Each structure stands twice: as structure tokens, then as C-alpha cells.
């Protein structure tokens, strides 16, 4: 079958950044608006987010979390209550100074994140250990003024969820921090077919106000890392600043222990850059808005259209998200369009197929085709194929990650790997921020997370040569 | 069984407004934040919204609509493109003048509604009749600066959905306007058990920029009306202002025909004020976050807790949203709490019930109880009961609406009914805005919608005495 090349987009190897924005536009995931950094999430892109939301919501609810909605605006005085936090976010804020034609007495900030609002609310509603834990989550958009923006990866407005929980004990809060990290790892593996590298952020890279920040980091096709979600343990820092106290079982006042955690529409960026190819998007089946596209060939000939419509209903009845392309375009154009949009399976059906009582299933991820009999249980075959595709895509991403994870001992090795191979470079580090900064300045690579690799006595910091404290995952990152 | 009165809230007849805010707070639907007019949607209140969302989303998708997300901020110049529209909204806008520590060249407005953004986008992506219709919907929050605010009814920020569609013909767009009105009427009847009065708004009351605005109006317990949703037909007004053109089948450039429609968290206000009573919230089963609350009595006695937990699992397996109150409060407190939160069915189970192999089902809406055998199919009985409750609540609301809808012929009658009975007063009107304004000034009643009642030759405007053009639903309104 003749195939139209998707010449409309730049080749990945020619210019990866251009390829990325080409795919974003041509697959109709997003469009630009007239305000810089504020994108439009078009139906196809937003549907990806809805599928991620739905998967996470189930997991959040199963682990006892409740959804809530907090105000969009934060008084500047409230944002300033926790010192580290305001220092981290104030420079990125959008500020409302007028409301209803009048100048406001106190300027209001559009939420860049909602810790302060949750803290204020929790302080009001929590009195006793019986009120704990409180495990709330919010789906919303946040605004952080960015100078350099890229669709899904860095925007002045993005969609996310932010979980905020408070607990009676440190142990419970720390368990929560790790539980949510686990849920993030799970959604990436089982829905998005993306393996994640996880670990603690260094002091320098952690969240403004957190004691510990755990991260999930994915490796993009171009060898750069993408921070894809974080889970923070706050200890009692915010609790003290916001006076979040409870009467414990011993009838003593005690400050709560707190966490927060979030993932955003960045995950869509990860999907694109982990799985995509020169023909466009390649979507893992479970998150794909359309899992099967039926393309009837010469559908005006007897029986083709009817059979195609019948197949659609059959697949739909089995819970498969299926569409049929009945536009007046050529089959070549339709194939190319389904490819660009990354639809996992293309089902082709023409007069000759009908004669032989068969149809053709073409897989987007590896371009292979198979002919199956229409006597078979087509829906079951397709379901199985979708699962196979998920596994294949995950495995491919795991291989790419493993091939691009390199353990080094010296700075020379470090630079060499970074330049010629990319990916995660695991290197010994003394634990000092100065060394982190120096490496960043020299190589543009940053610490992505601290590994749990054992540190040997002869491991020395690749920067200063002092004894190493940790083996750290460095990478160039988005 | 002894029952604790919910003395915590004001009686409806004593002070309806106070009763309303008491219920909002005590049923934990919302809380106030530190910014006036911006409320916190607490888990129980937000869950109501999620159930409304889910019901509507199914209906929107079944009728070919796609979800999308537009930027939160609108350049002031964009808002100004359609003259009527900006005049309507500019006085209510929250304005961002600073971003990332710098003063913006052009101030940005937090969306009070997103017509202008959708128009700009549609103008970009629509070229030919093949691109039509486009039927997009957005779930988001909007900001309109309000001086007087009340939870769910009028706030400076509220949650809503806004649908925006463009079509190739006037006929199709008008059909869409009515189709969405129908969907709103349906969700109110079948999910919220609220009958709606529907019709066209007058010129004075219609949406800023619309040719026609249809409304759904509900009658509250206190006899006041609540506008609960609107569906607008725009004609080509915005299309001309934003240059939304397409090549029609005759290869001629033509402006699109447009609609928009929305419902908001106001529906939660309607739920409270239509169904609530002196003991708190009364929720229709289909929208209730918890449909059945199991309250074990003396649950430490042999078998009670086990049976209660078993019943919970049985009901859950049948798709019933069920909880069990295992707090260390007294049964009386638990009954009262379940009442305040409006949970449709309370299932009581104590040692004596267990001896007799029975349990008690208490209905929130009419306080009746029935004892059922545990040999019966309990889940089926409960499902049936929930349906019954829905029907009873709907019927009660229909009766209240009918009893409070009065046809009058003169201004004296009009004022008399308005003062002593309240509700909708259907009166002949000449069609002039001046008369509308004068009636509003004299009585505070406004036109809610134009009825489809036939106008007789002897019907004269209750204000000016000229021949009537329409019979209009007037009411005092929120």
C-alpha cells in the first residue's frame, strides 16, 4: 500500500526542537493564543489529559484522597507567610491589581501553586487527631510567568493536579510522599508506557519550602531528561508558619506533618518525546483518545461501508475507542493522518479484503501489518494487539533508558558521555551545591536525582575530588 | 429512636438567607477564603459538581461535543472586539497588570467568559464548510468581580462549563441552541430532581452580544427564582467582529453562525434551596455523593459490625454509593449528621435488628422508615427506593412550582401575588424595556423569561396598559 510521507514535519534528527513543535501543531494537540506562553489545549491534546486525569483520579480515590477546589487568587500577604516558598515563587507571579474597575487595596496573585491556601484552610478545620489525616487533591490550572516557553513543557499557564495532605505523624506523612511517588511511577508505566527514574532531589533542586522532594524523571528521545512529577515532604515548616496545630491523643498541641505532590500537562510533552517518530505522534493504546482508526478503501463498492460500520460497532461494544474515517480524502491521506495523530492501530478494509473475508491491522508503533479473518473474534484480537503494543512501547522505552544510562568515575568521562551519548550520567558527588553549580556552568547538565547506588570508598566527587556522598543522576534537561 | 434536632442551623421560615448559609457551612459544602467572594469548594460540595460534570459530559459527548481548554487570560484588546460584549463584562473584570515582576504592556483580563478566545481560535482553524460544525466545550472557573456575593449563587469566582459552537447555517445553530437548552432541562430533571421553567429572555435580560438567550429558571423554596443556565444564539455578530468566515459549498465566503451555553456551580445553590429543609440538605439520590449511610447501633455487640460491613460491600457491588459511619459518636449524632448532609437513605442496624434478621431504611426526604428482612435482596430494594425518592422529590418540586405559578391580568393582582404568595407571576407585557424597568423599580421583580402562552386580544401590559405582546414570567430572583 502506497504511503504518504509526513513531509509536513521536520525530521527528528535534523532538528529535534522543530520536530517537537511540528508534531504538537500538526497532530492538533495545541495551538498558540495571542498571549505569549498561554496555549490552547485542542480537543485531541485535551483528551490525552482527560485520560490521564481519569486514571489518576481512580488511584487517588482508591488511596483515600478527596477532590476540592480552592480560589484562583491568593493575597500577596498569604503567599509571604512561608519565607522559602515566597522567595521561590514571587518572581514568577501574575498579579491582579484591579477588580471591577477599582484598584485593589491588596494585590492578588494568580496561584502558581496552592500550598498557602490549603494551609490556611487546614489551620481552620483541623483541631484534633480525629480530624487527621486530611488528604485533598485539586485539578486546576496555575500561572507562572515564564520568559522562554514551549508547548506542554514550560508555559506561563499549565494544567495540573496538586495534592496536599496533612498527617498526625512524620512517619505517616513520609509514607504518603512515597505512596504518591509510586502512583506517579505507576501511571507512567501502565498508562503512558514510560519508565521513570526516581529519587530525591538535591538541596538546590528541591521545591521551595520542602524538606525532601522526590522526582520522576523520564528520558526523551534526544537524550535529555524531563522532570515529570514531584512529591514533597514538608515536615512541619508550613505548619509552623500557618499555625496548623492539632490536639494529639495525649491532649497536647502538636504541629501537623505535611506533603504535596503534583503532575502536569508536561506528561503530554513526555509522551510526544519518548514515543514519537518521523511520521508524528506514536500513542500508547491506553491513553490514546482513538485506539483504532478504521479506514475503508473504495468504500463505495458493495458491502465495504456496511462492514466497516459493523466492525466499528463491534469494537465499540468491547470498550475499544474506535473511529472510522469517512472523509472524502484519499486512503493515502487518511493513513498519513492517522499516523501523524499516533493512533495505535489502523484497520484497513477494501473490496478485496471483503472478498477474502478479512481485514488488515496495521500497528503504528512498528509499522507491521497483519491480515486477520473476519471469522475470528476481531474485537478480542484487537484488544490483545493493543496490550501487545503497550508492552512493546514500554520495553522499547526501557531499552532506550538503559542504553542511555552510564556510570562514570571522572569528570572527563562525564563530559565525554554527556557530549557523545547523552542520557543519564551517574556520577559520584560530594554533596556540595558549589560542585553542582560548577558542573552546570561547565556542561549545562544538572542533578536530576540522587540514586540509591552504593557509594564505594574510592568514589570521589567528579568536580572537587573529595570523597563522594552520593551517586547522582546528572543529565541535560528540559 | 431519639433524634437530635439540628439546632445548629437557623429555621427556614425564620430567616431563609441565614438558613441557606448555615446549610452551606454545616453540611461542609464550602468554606470562605481570605479573598472576598472567592469560596473554597470542600470535598462534599465539589463531589456534587463532579457528579453534575460527569452527567453533562456524557450528554455533551453523545451529541458530538469535544472538550478543550483555553487560556485563563484575555488581552484587553481582544475583549473589546465585540462592542456589546465588552460593555457587558468590562465593569466586572479582574485585571492582571504585572507578570514576573514587570508591568505588562497590555493588561490582561482573567476570563469572565471565553467567547472572544473561542472566536479568535475558530477564525484561525476554520476555512471551509468541511470544517463545520465545530462544537467545543470547556470546563473551567471564571472571575467576575461582584460586590455582593453568596456561596454558589453569586461569587467573584465560580466553576462552570461554557460551550461554544459554530455552524454553517442559521438553522443548525438555532437547533443547537435549543438542543443544549434541552440537555440542561434534562440534567435538572433527571439528575437534580428540579423542574425548570424555560423560555427566551427579553432584550434587556439577554447575554451581552447574543441575539437570543434561552434560560432555565428554577423556583426556590422561598418563592424566588434562580436563573440556572442559559443557551445563546449569536447569529453572525461575533463572526463579523472576529472575521470567522468559511468557504461554503457554492465556494462563497460566508460568516459562521454561532452559539454558546453554560451552567455553573449555581446548580448546587438550586439543589440546596429547592430540596433542603430545617434539618439541612436533602439530596436527590442520583447526584448524592453518598446515597446510603449505614449506621450500626451498638456495633460492639456480636455480629453487628460484621453484618454492617457485609451490607456495605453488597450495596457497593450493586453500584450504590455507600458509606458506613464508624466514628465514636453517638447514634443520635450520626443520624443528625447524615440528615444535615442530606444523604438520601440511612440504613440502621443494631443487635435487635440482627436478632430479627432485619434492618431499617430511613428516607431523608420524607422521614419515613421501613424495616426490611435481610433475606430479601437488600441491594435491589435500596436501588428501587433510591429511584422512588428521586421521583418523589421531583414531584414535590413540580407541585411547589405549579402552586407558585400564577397568571394575572392587572398590576394590582401582580403586586398582590408577588407579595403574598411569591413564585412566578405570568403577566401580559407590551414588549417595552421601559415597562420592565418600571416594574422592577416598583416591585423588585424582573422578567425571568417569555412564556409561550397565547396572547389574547384583551391582554394588556400590566404596566402601561397597551396591547400585550407576550405573557412573561416575572419573579423576584436571586
Measured in angstroms, the CA of B153 and the nearest CA of chain A are apart by: 16
Evaluate if residue B140 carries a pLDDT over 90.
yes
Measured in angstroms, the CA of B81 and the nearest CA of chain A are apart by: 14
- Predicted confidence at residue B452, as pLDDT, reads 94
Separation CA B334–CA B352 (nearest Å): 19
> What would the mean pLDDT of B85-92 be, rounded to a whole number?
87
With beta carbons less than 8 A apart as the criterion, state whether A143 and A104 touch.
no
The CATH class for the domain spanning A405-475 reads alpha beta
The model's pLDDT over A280-290, given as tens digits with 9 standing for 90+, comes to 999 999 999 99
Percentage of chain A modeled with pLDDT above 90: 93
Residues of A with Cβ-Cβ distance to B71 under 8 angstroms: 33, 35, 38-40, 157
Task: Please tell me which of the candidates A31, A93, A99 has its beta carbon nearest to residue B145.
Answer: A99
For A424, list phi and psi in degrees, rounded to 5: -80, 130
Alpha carbon dihedral B251, B252, B253, B256, in 10-degree steps, equals -90
| CATH architecture classification, A18-275 | 2-Layer Sandwich (3.30)
The CATH class for the domain spanning A292-385 reads alpha beta
Evaluate if residue B442 carries a pLDDT over 60.
yes
Rg (CA), chain B: 25
With beta carbons less than 8 A apart as the criterion, state whether A427 and A416 touch.
no
Residues of A with Cβ-Cβ distance to B72 under 8 angstroms: 38, 72, 110, 141, 143, 157
Separation CA A431–CA A408 (nearest Å): 17
Separation CA B450–CA B166 (nearest Å): 26
Confidence of residue A6 (pLDDT cuts 50, 70, 90): low
Residues with Cβ within 8 Å of B201's Cβ and at least 6 positions away in sequence, in order, are B207, B212, B213, B214, B215, B230, B447, B449, B450
**pTM across the whole model:** 0.96
Residues of B with Cβ-Cβ distance to A31 under 8 angstroms: 121, 124-125
Residues of B with Cβ-Cβ distance to A43 under 8 angstroms: 66-68, 136
Percentage of chain A modeled with pLDDT above 70: 99
Closest by CA to B340, choosing from B273, B393, B282, is B282
> Nearest residue of A to residue B124 by CA position?
A31
- Predicted confidence at residue B299, as pLDDT, reads 86
Residues of A with Cβ-Cβ distance to B100 under 8 angstroms: 91-94, 145-147
Distance of CA A388 to the CA centre of its chain: 22
The mean predicted confidence, pLDDT, of chain A is 96
The model's pLDDT over B263-278, given as tens digits with 9 standing for 90+, comes to 999 999 999 999 999 9
Separation CA B319–CA B309 (nearest Å): 16
- Output the nine-digit C-alpha cell for A336: 498519513
Helix axis angle, B170-190 to B43-62, nearest 10°: 140
- Predicted confidence at residue B6, as pLDDT, reads 58
> Nearest residue of A to residue B142 by CA position?
A72
Residues of A with Cβ-Cβ distance to B156 under 8 angstroms: 99
> What would the mean pLDDT of A345-350 be, rounded to a whole number?
97
Indicate yes or no: CB of A96 within 8 angstroms of CB of B117: no
Indicate yes or no: CB of B75 within 8 angstroms of CB of A110: no
With beta carbons less than 8 A apart as the criterion, state whether B198 and B185 touch.
yes
- Predicted confidence at residue B226, as pLDDT, reads 98
> What would the mean pLDDT of B448-469 be, rounded to a whole number?
96
3-state helix/strand/coil string of chain A = CCCCCCCCCCCCCCCHHHHHHHHHHHCCCEEECCCCCCEEECHHHHHHHHHHHHHHHHHHHHCCCEECECCCEEEHHHHCCCHHHHHHHHHHCEEEEEECCEEEEEEEEECCCCHHHHHHHHHHHCCEHHHCCEEEEEEEEEECCCCCCECCCECCEEEEEEEEEEECCHHHHHHHHHHHHHHHHHHHHHCCCCCCEEEECCCCCCCCCCCEEEEEEEECCCCCEEEEEEEEEEECHHHHHHCCEEECCCCCEEECEEEEEEEECHHHHHHHHHHCECCECCCCCCCCCCCEEEEECCCCCCCHHHHHHHHHHHHHHCCCCEEECCCCCCHHHHHHHHHHCCCCEEEEECHHHHHCCEEEEEECCCCCEEEEECCCCHHHHHHHHHHHHHHHHHHHHHHHHHHCEEECCCHHHHHHHHHHCCCEEEEEECCCHHHHHHHHHHHCCEEEEECCCCCCCCCECCCCCCECCEEEEEECEC
* CA atoms in the 13 A half-sphere facing the CB of B370: 10
Domain limits, chain B: 16-275, 292-386, 405-475
> What would the mean pLDDT of A404-420 be, rounded to a whole number?
97
Indicate yes or no: CB of A31 within 8 angstroms of CB of B125: yes
Indicate yes or no: CB of B72 within 8 angstroms of CB of A43: no
- Identify the residue among A56, A69, A128 best suited for mutation to test binding to B, counting B beta carbons within 10 A and taking the highest: A69
- Identify the residue among A32, A68, A120, A264 best suited for mutation to test binding to B, counting B beta carbons within 10 A and taking the highest: A68
From the candidate CATH numbers 3.40.50.300, 3.40.50.1820, 3.40.630.30, 3.40.50.800, the one assigned to the domain spanning B292-386: 3.40.50.800
The model's pLDDT over A295-324, given as tens digits with 9 standing for 90+, comes to 999 988 889 999 999 999 999 999 999 999
> Nearest residue of A to residue B121 by CA position?
A33
Task: Please tell me which of the candidates A41, A98, A136 has its beta carbon nearest to residue B97.
Answer: A98
Confidence of residue B169 (pLDDT cuts 50, 70, 90): very high
Fold of B16-275: BirA Bifunctional Protein; domain 2 (3.30.930)
- Identify the residue among A29, A31, A43, A264 best suited for mutation to test binding to B, counting B beta carbons within 10 A and taking the highest: A43
The model's pLDDT over B397-424, given as tens digits with 9 standing for 90+, comes to 999 999 999 999 999 999 999 999 999 9
Evaluate if residue A344 carries a pLDDT over 50.
yes
Task: Please tell me which of the candidates B40, B49, B72 has its beta carbon nearest to residue A70.
Answer: B40
Evaluate if residue B1 carries a pLDDT over 90.
no
Task: Please tell me which of the candidates B31, B50, B159 has its beta carbon nearest to residue A121.
Answer: B31
Indicate yes or no: CB of A117 within 8 angstroms of CB of B33: yes
User: What is the complex's ipTM, to 2 decimals?
Assistant: 0.95
Burial of A42 (0-12, 13-18, 19+ CB in 10 A): buried
Task: Please tell me which of the candidates B91, B143, B147 has its beta carbon nearest to residue A72.
Answer: B143
Indicate yes or no: CB of A46 within 8 angstroms of CB of B68: yes
Indicate yes or no: CB of B68 within 8 angstroms of CB of A78: no
The model's pLDDT over A14-53, given as tens digits with 9 standing for 90+, comes to 999 999 999 999 999 999 999 999 999 999 999 999 999 9
Distance of CA B139 to the CA centre of its chain: 14
The model's pLDDT over A52-90, given as tens digits with 9 standing for 90+, comes to 999 999 999 999 999 999 999 999 999 998 888 888 888
Evaluate if residue A273 carries a pLDDT over 50.
yes
> What would the mean pLDDT of A248-265 be, rounded to a whole number?
97
Separation CA A148–CA A25 (nearest Å): 18
With beta carbons less than 8 A apart as the criterion, state whether B51 and B289 touch.
yes
With beta carbons less than 8 A apart as the criterion, state whether A54 and A60 touch.
no
- Predicted confidence at residue A90, as pLDDT, reads 86
The model's pLDDT over B323-365, given as tens digits with 9 standing for 90+, comes to 999 998 999 999 999 999 999 999 999 999 999 999 999 999 9
ω before A133 within 30° of 0 (cis)? Answer: yes
With beta carbons less than 8 A apart as the criterion, state whether A185 and A210 touch.
no
- Predicted confidence at residue B7, as pLDDT, reads 65
- Predicted confidence at residue B3, as pLDDT, reads 43
Separation CA B191–CA B283 (nearest Å): 10
- Predicted confidence at residue B397, as pLDDT, reads 98
Residues of B with Cβ-Cβ distance to A35 under 8 angstroms: 71, 73-75, 108
The model's pLDDT over B272-314, given as tens digits with 9 standing for 90+, comes to 999 999 999 999 999 999 999 999 999 888 899 999 999 999 9
Task: Please tell me which of the candidates B47, B91, B99 has its beta carbon nearest to residue A94.
Answer: B99
- Predicted confidence at residue A3, as pLDDT, reads 43
Amino acid at each position: 500500500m502506497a504511503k504518504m510521507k509526513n513531509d509536513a514535519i521536520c525530521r527528528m534528527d535534523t532538528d529535534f526542537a522543530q520536530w517537537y513543535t511540528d508534531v504538537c501543531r500538526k497532530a492538533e494537540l495545541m495551538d498558540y493564543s495571542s498571549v505569549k506562553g498561554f496555549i490552547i489545549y485542542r480537543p485531541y491534546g485535551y483528551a490525552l489529559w482527560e485520560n490521564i486525569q481519569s486514571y489518576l483520579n481512580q488511584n487517588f480515590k482508591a488511596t483515600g484522597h478527596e477532590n476540592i477546589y480552592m480560589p484562583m487568587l491568593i493575597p500577596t500577604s498569604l503567599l509571604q507567610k512561608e519565607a522559602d516558598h515566597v522567595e521561590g515563587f514571587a518572581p514568577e507571579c501574575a498579579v491582579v491589581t484591579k477588580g471591577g474597575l477599582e484598584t485593589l487595596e491588596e494585590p492578588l496573585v494568580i496561584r502558581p501553586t496552592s500550598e498557602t491556601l490549603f494551609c490556611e484552610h487546614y489551620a481552620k478545620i483541623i483541631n484534633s487527631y480525629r480530624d487527621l489525616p486530611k488528604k485533598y487533591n485539586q485539578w486546576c490550572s496555575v500561572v507562572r510567568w515564564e520568559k522562554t516557553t514551549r508547548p506542554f513543557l514550560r508555559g506561563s499557564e499549565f494544567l495540573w493536579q496538586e495534592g496536599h495532605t496533612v498527617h498526625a505523624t512524620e512517619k505517616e506523612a513520609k509514607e504518603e510522599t512515597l505512596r504518591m511517588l509510586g502512583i506517579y511511577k505507576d501511571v507512567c508505566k501502565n498508562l503512558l508506557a514510560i519508565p521513570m527514574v526516581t529519587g530525591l532531589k538535591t538541596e538546590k533542586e528541591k521545591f521551595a519550602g520542602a524538606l525532601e522532594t522526590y522526582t520522576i524523571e523520564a528520558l526523551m528521545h534526544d537524550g535529555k531528561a524531563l522532570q515529570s512529577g514531584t512529591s514533597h515532604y514538608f515536615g512541619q515548616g508550613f505548619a509552623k508558619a500557618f499555625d496548623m496545630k492539632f490536639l494529639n491523643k495525649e491532649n497536647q498541641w502538636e504541629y501537623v506533618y505535611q506533603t504535596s505532590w503534583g503532575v502536569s500537562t508536561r506528561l503530554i510533552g513526555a509522551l510526544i518525546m519518548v514515543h514519537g517518530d518521523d511520521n508524528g505522534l506514536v500513542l500508547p493504546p491506553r491513553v490514546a483518545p482513538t485506539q483504532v482508526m478504521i479506514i475503508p478503501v473504495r468504500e463505495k463498492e458493495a458491502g465495504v461501508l456496511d462492514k466497516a460500520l459493523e466492525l466499528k460497532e463491534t469494537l465499540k461494544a468491547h470498550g475499544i475507542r474506535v473511529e472510522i474515517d469517512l472523509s472524502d480524502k484519499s486512503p493515502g491521506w487518511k493513513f498519513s493522518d492517522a499516523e501523524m495523530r499516533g493512533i495505535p492501530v489502523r484497520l484497513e478494509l477494501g473490496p478485496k479484503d471483503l472478498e477474502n473475508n478479512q481485514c488488515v491491522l496495521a500497528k503504528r508503533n512498528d509499522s507491521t501489518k497483519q491480515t486477520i479473518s473476519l471469522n475470528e473474534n476481531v474485537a478480542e484480537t484487537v484488544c490483545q494487539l493493543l496490550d501487545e503494543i503497550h508492552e512493546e512501547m514500554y520495553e522499547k522505552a526501557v531499552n532506550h533508558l538503559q542504553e542511555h544510562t552510564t556510570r562514570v568515575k571522572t569528570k572527563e568521562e562525564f563530559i565525554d558521555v554527556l557530549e557523545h551519548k547523552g542520557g543519564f550520567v551517574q556520577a559520584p558527588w560530594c554533596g556540595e551545591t558549589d560542585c553542582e553549580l560548577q558542573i552546570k556552568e561547565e556542561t549545562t547538565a544538572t542533578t536530576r536525582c540522587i540514586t540509591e547506588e552504593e557509594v564505594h570508598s574510592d568514589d570521589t566527587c567528579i568536580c572537587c575530588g573529595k570523597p563522594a556522598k552520593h551517586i547522582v543522576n546528572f543529565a541535560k534537561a528540559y
